[in-house]
């Protein structure tokens, strides 16, 4: 954040998060869209509202999906019993849709490519846990992993129309070393 402030990044209603168009959960690595001006921020927020900002994640889950791909459509909101958690059991439901494809299968795990259609707080983690595919290393909704001190969730691809030129912007981010090492342990 301080690097953004040093570069004069602007946009948004939260001064502590200048220009940040969407969020990543704590301990999630990967790509983030940041606007450089108020006008760019407003236009990029419109893309988010129109569901035209495409976000893909890689998630390692415990368990094996019943199909090669799937769509999870289940409203999410604050948990009725724990205000710090999100849940399907909520008094404040908001529509949430998550798509997944199997990238790689292991004996007791699966690496999924996950695409958000909506962007609710903790959406991927809550949805995958709800279908009994908890994210590895997730201490809140998933399964802790002593060799991985954070959840195996990485925002690996983003694509959207540039807010001014209309050109397609598509970027990818490889898995960081700690997540690559976790996959190597499973493959050995």
> From CA 71, how far away is CA 138, in angstroms rounded?
21
Closest CA to 59 of 105, 124, 127, 119: 124
Helix or strand or coil: residue 83?
coil
Please write down the HEC assignment for all residues of 61-80: EECCCCCCEEEEECCEEEEC
82 is catalytic: no
Determine contact, residues 165/42, Cβ cutoff 8 Å: no
| Alpha-helical regions (H) of the chain | 2-6, 38-49, 123-130, 177-187
Active-site choice (13, 25, 27, 89) = 25
34 vs 1, 79, 166, CA distance in Å?
A: 11, 29, 17
| Residues catalogued as catalytic | 25
């Amino acid at each position: 954040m301080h690097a953004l402030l040093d570069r004069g990044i602007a946009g948004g209603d939260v001064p502590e998060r200048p220009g940040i168009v969407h969020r990543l959960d704590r301990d999630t690595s990967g790509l983030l869209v940041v606007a450089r001006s108020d006008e760019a921020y407003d236009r990029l927020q419109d893309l988010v509202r129109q569901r035209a900002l495409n976000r893909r994640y890689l998630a390692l889950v415990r368990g094996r999906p019943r199909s090669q791909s799937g769509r999870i459509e289940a409203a999410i909101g604050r948990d009725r019993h724990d205000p710090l958690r999100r849940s399907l059991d909520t008094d404040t439901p908001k529509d949430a849709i998550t798509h997944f494809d199997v990238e790689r299968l292991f004996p007791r795990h699966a690496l999924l490519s996950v695409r958000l259609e909506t962007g609710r707080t903790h959406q991927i983690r809550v949805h995958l846990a709800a279908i009994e595919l908890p994210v590895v290393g997730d201490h809140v909704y998933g399964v802790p992993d002593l060799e991985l001190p954070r959840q195996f969730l990485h925002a690996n691809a983003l694509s959207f129309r540039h807010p001014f030129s209309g050109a397609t912007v598509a970027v990818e981010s490889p898995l960081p070393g700690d997540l690559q090492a976790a996959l190597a342990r499973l493959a050995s």
